[in-house]
Amino acid sequence: MTKIGIVVGSTREGRAGRSVGEWVLSKTSNRDVEYEIVDIKDYDLPFIGTTENQENVIKWNEKLNSLDGFVFVVAEYNHSITGALKNALDSAREAWNNKAAGIVSYGSAGGARAAEHLRGILSELQIASVRSHILLSLFDDFKNFSEFNPRSIHDDNLNQLFDQVESWSMALSSLRGDENE
Ligand SMILES: Cc1cc2nc3c(=O)[nH]c(=O)nc-3n(C[C@H](O)[C@H](O)[C@H](O)COP(=O)(O)O)c2cc1C
């Protein structure tokens, strides 16, 4: 069975990221593949290279190894991705390779600038990012710029994103040599 991780990319207290991730998950109930939330905050990853204790980094890599593709939930911080997401991306290598991903971003301009930065990073990690992209506006999809309140206009686009991530994740499984082919 193909498994897709919904990677929640922000970790701060009071973040909107977890609600956005849960919304993405709620839209997957009619899909034929498995989706799960993979919350970076749950792994408490050390900043790369700062400790010899690699227990959480190993757990992180094991989780990524169990997944075929990803939907990244991306907050825009200073026109880029969060430091927490960059550190989580840097904390694995082979476990990312030859997989597919879609991006759900949010910010005042829909998180577009962070999403485009992320695409460059994903190509270095050999993750193929699909065209469909959900841009959530802090003005229109949040109340008071903080409480997530998405418009239903995103639903069709989100389904297209799932179609693309699923088909590319399955197509790339021949390169991964998975037993899930
Ligand atoms: C350090 C920081 C920098 C931010 N920079 C931007 C930015 O450059 N562009 C933008 O649209 N929003 C920016 N924001 C607003 C965030 O997009 C908004 O707070 C969002 O809810 C953050 O995601 P989170 O709640 O999951 O942490 C910034 C927020 C923080 C905390």
DSSP-derived letter for residue 109 is: T
| 81 contacts: CB under 8 Å, gap ≥ 6 | 9, 74, 75, 114, 117, 118, 121
| Mean pLDDT estimate for the chain | 97
pLDDT computed for residue 21 by the predictor: 98
Q: Over range 80-85, report the average pLDDT.
A: 98
Q: What average pLDDT score do residues 71-88 get?
A: 98
Which of 22, 77, 136 is the pocket-test mutation for ligand 1 (most atoms within 8 Å of CB)? 77
166: amino acid identity, one letter? E
Q: Whose CA is nearest to atom 14 of ligand 1?
A: 77
CA–CA separation, 31 and 34 (whole Å)? 8
The amino acid present at 32, given as its one-letter code, is: D
* Cβ of 15 below 6 Å from ligand 1: yes
* Structure tokens given for 25: 């998950």
- Output the pLDDT for position 177: 84
User: What are the phi and psi torsion angles at 35 (to 5°)?
Assistant: -120, 145
**Interval between CA 53 and ligand 1 midpoint (Å):** 31
Tally the C-alpha atoms within 13 A of residue 149's C-alpha that lie toward its C-beta.
9
Ligand 1 test: best mutation among 8, 23, 76, 140, most atoms within 8 Å of CB? 76
**Residue 69: in which H helix or E strand, if any?**
strand 69-75
Using alpha carbons, select from 72, 102, 99 the residue that is nearest to residue 170. Answer: 99
CB of 144 closer than 6 angstroms to any ligand 1 atom: no
Tens of pLDDT, residue by residue over 109-167, are 999 999 999 999 999 999 999 999 999 999 999 999 999 999 999 999 999 999 999 99
Average of pLDDT values for 8-27? 98
Q: What confidence tier does 180 reach under pLDDT thresholds 50, 70, 90?
A: very low
Q: Would strands 147-148 and 142-143 be described as parallel, antiparallel, or unpaired?
A: antiparallel
CA atoms within 13 A on the CB side of 131: 1
Q: Is the distance from the beta carbon of residue 10 to the nearest atom of ligand 1 less than 6 Å? A: yes
Average pLDDT over residues 46-64: 98
Pocket of ligand 1 contains residue 83 by CB under 6 Å: no
Residue 37 has pLDDT above 90, yes or no: yes
Q: What are phi and psi of 133, to 5 degrees?
A: -150, 130
Record the pTM.
0.97
Q: Is the pLDDT of residue 52 over 80?
A: yes
Distance 167 CA to ligand 1 centre (A): 31
Indicate whether residue 108 lines ligand 1 (CB < 6 A): yes
Residue 179 is predicted with a pLDDT of 52
* Residue 181 pLDDT exceeds 70: no
Determine the pLDDT at residue 40: 98
Mean local confidence (pLDDT), 78-97: 98
